[in-house]
Amino acid sequence: MKKNSQVKALVTKPTLFTILLLLFVVFMGVIGCAPARSVQRISADETEDLSGRWNETDSRLVAEEMINDVLSRFWLDNFVSNQNRQPVVLVGTVRNLSSEHIDTATFIRNMERELINSGMVRFVAGGDARVEIREERTDQQVHAREETAARLAAETGADFMLQGGIRTIIDAIEGRQIKFYQVDLELVNMETNERVWIGNKEIRKLITRSRTRF
Amino acid sequence: MKRKSNFCIFIVLSILLCTTHLIFNTGCSSGQARSKLFKDIENSLDQRDYQTAISKITAAKDDYYSARDRVLYYIDLGMLYHYSGDFEKSNEYLTEAEYAIEELFTRSVSRAATSLLLNDNVLEYTGEDYEDIYTNIIKAINFLNLEQFDNAFVEIRRINDKLNILEDKYKELADSFQQSEEAEIEFETGTNEYYNSVLGRYLSLLIYRTEGRLDAAKIDYNSIVEGWRGQSHIYNFPKPDISSHLNITNNAKLNIIALVGKPPVKKPFERRISTYEGYLIVSGNEPCEFVHTIYWPGLSKDYHFKFSLPFMERRDTEVERVRVVVDERIVGELDFLEDLGNIAIETFAVKAPVIYFRSVVRSLVKGIAAERAKSEMKSRTNPLVGALLGISTDIAVDLSEQADTRASRFLPGKTMVGEIDLEPGIYNIRIEYLNQYGQILFRDEFPQKQVRKGELNLVNTFYLN
């Protein structure tokens, strides 16, 4: 026998207490609780991990760490000493290869911000922003005064492109779930396809389900 | 003396109140009215009148879905939006369903020890695993229609994640129930033999192939083949020959995914408990002869109770064949790829021991408590009142032990797929559903469909009868 507990008492000689207890439990389940909503303002820097999913804090911290890493490696010094100028970097695609709908646009935006603010590289727009700018520039050729229209074919070409992906592995046992996020980025020389930097950042999140006893 | 009599009446009234709440508040309407509503919605779907079907569901939210049934509401509505072609709305509701399933299951584990004595019907519906997995399947199809391949892949990976932890999650739930003070008996969950979603792999193959990643597509192809080898009880129908999917030709490829038939249902079957000194016997006749002896130290003899258990049952479709007609020329037929009924039965079997264990403990504890209360009432109140309250208690206890047969209503029963090689161009495509006699049950028209080389040219079609 596993336990010699209340149930035996209830099954053999139920007391008023156990019956009352039983009814209370049944009632609590039937009645349920109406969810009360309250709103509390929190700082944008404050970390609130509600669901265990990838969130804005993860995006910001990973972007900061990875950009710090890429800017501290030898490729940058090598380029500056060889070319006598700062490299021009373009952030390409970061593919979501995980099992969560991660907003990679936010992550890319965070990396772009870190790159620009570092002052160590020059940065050119890519993706949809570049398409929109090109459309506007083409439009200017027709509609803007000649002396004010932006020149065609005068873009700054990128020397390097940063691209990568985010993956997840989930493991769960006995009420505990570990989410393992892996962000892989690489910086590729646009002219030679040479990979000059490969970075990797891992985040582990342990999600524990609480258990209560009556 | 008077206090004790009042207490007994309180017990009976409490059980009656609980039962009344159970009957009238879990949906607030009669079974007949519910059946009529869903029949009406099915008719609207048959007539492709999506707006009516959707508005009927949303209008029925308060009357036919309680807060406990929100998972069902989200799945039902998400499926109706999928059929209507509003893939973004469908994703929105199916995501709500998925998050609710995750949240409610987590909550059910944390409350397991304290909710052992509660009937499943009064608990929040946490969704069946096949429903959970199919939210991702349908969302993946939605994302393919929205040409968002990365997002479709997210859904496919989520299917794999869920299948990987399916067995563990019920072990965890079972462990939590066994922490309850009332849990005198030990039990184990079923084992999961469903670890590879062939339909999920098929969608993945289509994406990889379209992206030109043939090696990855080949891995998915092998996993599909493995589905028939390693899960022959789930994929117990002829394996479709999809090897041509990996061939790259100069033609464009038209891919058809057809959802057919009705989803599985849960049917209640009665079980009886007879107690003896130190043990009890659970027996029943349906769906098959069943006798189970459980040793329960300290148990008194001569109590007889009954309860009902839900059993998953697949539903057949009248569709025997589905053929593809392009510009009035029959160009091929679709193949069965997945049977949701089989998946539902397999995955439900993993948690069935949890339901059985809870039902036995609950029926026993509640039944014995009611018997004791009835004896007390008979001895302390007017005999007529006591007898009437006793009968009411018996009815209330029986009703409160009804099986939880909640399930979503608009998932498909089966999935069929096919691929047609065509010259790139614009075609009038018709999908014809035929019964076993070759009679056409339904024609789904896709006029002026653009078919491009190197792209995923997907046709979604359904016939849910």
CB pair distance less than 8 Å for B179 and A22: no
At B359 the pLDDT is 87
User: What separation, in Å, do the N-terminal and C-terminal C-alpha atoms of chain A show?
Assistant: 21
pLDDT band at B303 (very low <50, low <70, confident <90, very high): confident
Compute the nearest-CA separation of A10 from chain B (Å). 7
More confident residue, A175 or B314: B314
Question: Which residue segment(s) compose the domain that B112 sits in?
Answer: 2-463
Q: pLDDT at residue B412 above 90?
A: yes
pLDDT at B374: 72
Give the separation between CA A177 and CA A193, rounded to whole angstroms.
39
More confident residue, B380 or B247: B247
Confidence band for B36, pLDDT divided at 50, 70 and 90: confident
What's the pLDDT score for residue A81? 95
Assess A19–B contact: CB distance below 8 Å, yes or no: yes
Least CA distance to A96: which residue of chain B?
B150
Of A23-32, A75-84, B347-356, the least confident: A23-32
Query: pTM to 2 decimals?
Result: 0.81
Cβ contact A29–B176 (<8 Å): no
Q: What is the pLDDT of residue A31?
A: 45
Q: Are B349 and B129 in contact (CB under 8 A)?
A: no
Please state, rounded to an integer, the average pLDDT across all residues of chain A.
80
- Cβ pair A25:B372 closer than 8 A: no
A56-208 CATH fold:
Rossmann fold (3.40.50)
Task: Give whole-number Cα distances, B156 to A167, B148, B161, B223, in Å.
Answer: 13, 13, 9, 13
Region A19-36: mean pLDDT is 49
Which residues from A are below 8 Å from B164, CB to CB? 170
Q: Would you say residue A75 has pLDDT above 90?
A: yes
Per the structure, how many domains does chain B have? 1
* 8 Å CB contact of A213 and B372: no
| pLDDT above 70 as % of chain B | 83
Closest CA to B125 of B411, B410, B405: B405
Most confident range (mean pLDDT) of B56-65, B220-229, B357-366 is: B220-229
Q: Is the pLDDT of residue A51 over 50?
A: yes
Give me the pLDDT at residue A5, please.
46
Residues A105-150: tens digit of each pLDDT: 999 999 999 999 999 999 998 888 899 999 999 999 999 999 999 9
pLDDT higher for B263 or B173? B263
> pLDDT tens digits, residue range B62-96?
888 888 899 999 999 999 999 999 999 999 999 99
Residue among A96, A173, A214 whose CB faces B114 most closely: A214
Inter-chain CB proximity B299 and A214 less than 8 Å: no
Contact A52, A205 (CB under 8 A): yes
Contacts 24+ apart (CB under 8 A), B158-161: B158/A99, B158/A100, B158/B98, B159/B133, B159/B197, B159/B200, B160/A99, B160/B197, B160/B200, B161/A99, B161/A170
A4, pLDDT greater than 70: no
Radius of gyration of chain A (CA): 28
Q: Quote the mean pLDDT of chain B.
A: 86
pLDDT of residue B164: 83
pLDDT, tens digit, 9 for 90 and up, residues B274-298? 999 989 999 998 888 889 998 888 8
Domain ranges of chain A: 56-208
DSSP string covering B380-398: HS-HHHHHHHHHHHHHHHH
Closest CA to A73 of A186, A154, A190: A186
Least reliable range by pLDDT among A205-214, B181-190, B280-289: A205-214
pLDDT tens figures, B323-363:
999 999 999 999 999 999 999 999 998 888 888 888 888 88
> Could you give the residue ranges of the DSSP H alpha helices within B240-333?
none
Q: Give residue B168's pLDDT.
A: 73
